[in-house]
Structure 1
C-alpha cells in the first residue's frame, strides 16, 4: 500500500480547462470531438513555445501552474503513447525518402518533455518518464511515492495522451480524446492505494484512469477501483 496527499490538480482537454468545465464533463462524461485546439502556454517566451508539440503544451499547461512556488520539484511524466503524431510524421518523411530533422527526432523521444521542462524551468530535481499501459497513473504514483518517501516535500505527476493519427486508430483505442492531468502530490495519509489480483467479474474501466480520477475527485467519492488486465487497484480516501 502507498499513501499520499493530492494537494492540487489541474487538467486540460479541448474545450475543458476550468474546474467548472471538468465538473460538467464528470457529471455527463462523453467523447470530445477531435480538435486541433492547444492549451494556452503564453507564460512561456515565444521562442520556447515554438519547440513544443501539442503533447508538450498540454503537459506544460497543467504542470507549470502547479509547480509555481516550488524551487525544487521532482517530476514524474506518464504517457502510454507519447509523441505519436510527431513520430508518424517522421515515418511519412522516411517513406517519401526525405531527410529527417534532427530537432524533430530529438523531440520525439519519450523523455523529451521532461528534458524541455528541465531546460525551461532550470529544474535539476529527479525526473522520470514512464510509458505504461492502462494503469500508467498508478505506476506513476508508485514512482512519485518513492520520491516522497525519499524525502521530497512534493512531487509533480503529469499524465498526457495525444489523439493518435487516423492510421493508428484501429490499434490505439484507449485515447478517446487528447487530455492532460497534473497532480501535485505531498506526503500524507489522505489517499491509500493498494494492488490485488483482478477477479474475473470486475469490468475494465470505460475511461482512461486519469479521466476517471478527475470524476472521483469532483464527486467526492471516498473509494473506487481501477481494473487493468489482471491487476485491480483499490483507491481509498480518508479525508
Structure 2
C-alpha cells in the first residue's frame, strides 16, 4: 500500500460553462446536474489581447482558475492533469492530414500535452518545475502524487490543475467521462488537513468525474471520499480537527 500523502488545500477555484463563482459551485454541488455547453469562453481578460489569441479554450480554462491562486507567488510549481488534452486541436490536425493539406506548425506545437504548461511558464515568467500528466480515471490522484513529492522536497506551495475539454462529436461514442467542460485548481501547501492513501479493491464507478466529486466534498464538508478506478482504491480523508 502506498504511504499516506498529507497536504493542505489552501484554496480552490473551478470553472465550467455557467459555473464560475464559489457560490455557483456550491449550488451545483448540492444538486449536481449536467451543464449545457454553449461554448462559453472563460474570462482571461487579465492577459493582454495578443497573448490571449493563441490560447485554446482548455488553456483559457486553466488560466482562469489558476492565475488568481498564483498571484501571491512569484515562483510556483505547477502540476497539470488531463486525460484527453487538446482533442479539438488534434482532430483539426487529423482533418488537415486527411485532406492532404499542409499542417500548421503552430497548431501542432500547441496540441502536445505539455504545451499549456509551456504557455503558462512564458506568460507568468515562471521557470519553476512543471509537469503535465495524462492518466486514466484517476489522473487527479496521480497529479496529487507528483504534488506531494514536490511538497516533500520543500516546496512551500504547489498548484494543481485538472481540466477536461468537451470532446468533439466524432469522439462522443468513445469518451464518456466528460459530462461537460470543467477545470479545477487546488493550491496545495504542507500540512495534515487532508490525507490520501492508495489501497486495492474494486468498487462502483462514480456518477461524476472524480475532480467534481472532490469539489462536492469540499463544498459540503464531506470528511471522507473514496474513488475506485480499476483495482485501485483511493481514500481521501479530511481531518477537521
Which bracket does the TM-score occupy, shorter chain normalised? over 0.9
Q: How much has 1:97 moved relative to structure 2?
A: 1.1
Determine the C-alpha separation between the residues in 1 that align with 2:212 and 2:117.
22
Aligned to 1:140: 143
RMSD of aligned alpha carbons: 0.7
Determine the C-alpha separation between the residues in 1 that align with 2:232 and 2:222.
21
Aligned to 2:23, what secondary structure does the other structure show? Answer: helix
Determine the C-alpha separation between the residues in 1 that align with 2:178 and 2:5.
27
Deviations 1:132-163 (A, max 9, x none): 11110011000000000000000000000000
Aligned to 1:222: 223
145, 150, 167: which is aligned to 2:170?
Answer: 167
Determine the C-alpha separation between the residues in 1 that align with 2:38 and 2:97.
27
Determine the C-alpha separation between the residues in 2 that align with 1:187 and 1:229.
29
Q: How much has 1:53 moved relative to structure 2?
A: 0.1
Detail structure 1 runs of 4+ shifted over 3 Å in the superposition. Answer: none
Structure 1 alignment gaps of length 5 or more: none
Aligned to 1:30, what secondary structure does the other structure show? Answer: coil
90, 96, 99: which is aligned to 1:87?
Answer: 90
Aligned to 1:50: 53
Structure 2 alignment gaps of length 5 or more: none
Alignment of 1:25 with 2:25, yes or no, is no
Aligned residues: 237
Determine the C-alpha separation between the residues in 1 that align with 2:232 and 2:207.
16
Determine the C-alpha separation between the residues in 1 that align with 2:154 and 2:66.
21
TM-score, normalized by length of structure 2? Answer: 0.97
Aligned to 1:101: 104
Aligned to 2:206, what secondary structure does the other structure show? Answer: coil
Alignment of 1:237 with 2:238, yes or no, is yes
TM-score, normalized by length of structure 1? Answer: 0.98
Aligned to 2:15: 12
Aligned to 2:235, what secondary structure does the other structure show? Answer: strand
